[in-house]
Amino acid sequence: MIIDVLTIFPGILKGPFSESMIKRAQERGLVKIELTDLRSFARGRHRQVDDTPYGGGAGMVFKPEPLFEAVEALSGEAARVILLTPQGRTFNQALARELAREERLLLICGRYEGVDERVREALVNDEISIGDYILSGGELAAAVVIDAVVRLLPGFLEEESTAEESFSGHLLECPHYTRPPVFRGMAVPGVLLSGNHAAIAQWRRCQSLRRTWERRPDLLAKAELSPEDRQCLERLVKKDE
């Protein structure tokens, strides 16, 4: 996969992509991440990429010329062009999986009051928001999207690992423990030490349901629940009453 990021502050993103698993994914050839400074496509002595909005008002707006030239130079028609903006559809695990199937992405990091509307109309295939809050720009949102997408690429992690993560089946993950078995009086649940893999799997599933029911009950409506799952939830509800 190739991911281009168009930004006026490429330095913000150099750190996240030069460490840990994302760095190793690039070294192994699973993904190529390119950071491009939008100012390199701006004209004039001052390389201006923004201007005041027509009709007045506060703030500045990204000009269309540098964005059109940058997107056309970087992607042609091969990339899925995504604008990171609070107005976009909310990013989630399902959308991450959708994007992970693409061969090439081009992320535009919005700033100021946004971009000239003609950019949206003619260049952008999709608009994504990572939540209902405002950031200074789209760079950190781009880092979130890229991290979530790249870790789903074949060969990045063991398939079993990603399949059991939070949100993969519309459920939150179960609690996890490691050595020592007792720490400051807090003991690991005995079932995890039993060696009974069927009992462990059942416990983990029920704990996942419990955590989802307690913290994100809205997700349960989307989850595929077995009769055993429903029995577990019924026990939780009765216990809480």
Whether residue 94 sits in one domain with residue 153: yes
Q: Over its length of 241 residues, how does the chain's per-residue pLDDT go in tens digits? A: 999 999 999 999 999 999 999 999 999 999 999 999 999 999 888 889 999 999 999 899 999 999 999 999 997 668 999 999 999 999 999 999 999 999 999 999 999 889 999 999 999 999 999 999 999 999 999 999 999 999 999 999 864 455 555 565 789 999 999 999 999 999 999 999 999 999 999 999 999 999 999 999 999 998 999 999 999 999 988 887 6
Residue where one domain finishes, among candidates 158, 183, 213: 158
Q: How many structural domains comprise the chain?
A: 2
Looking at residue 199, its amino acid is A
Domain boundary (158, 176, 195) is at 158
Residues 79 and 152 in one domain: yes
Residue 59: C-alpha distances to residues 25, 103, 195, 214, 223 (Å)? 38, 35, 62, 42, 43
Where do we find the tokens 């500045």?
Answer: 60
* Residue 138 near residue 81 (C-beta atoms within 8 A): no
d(CA 232, CA 170): 16
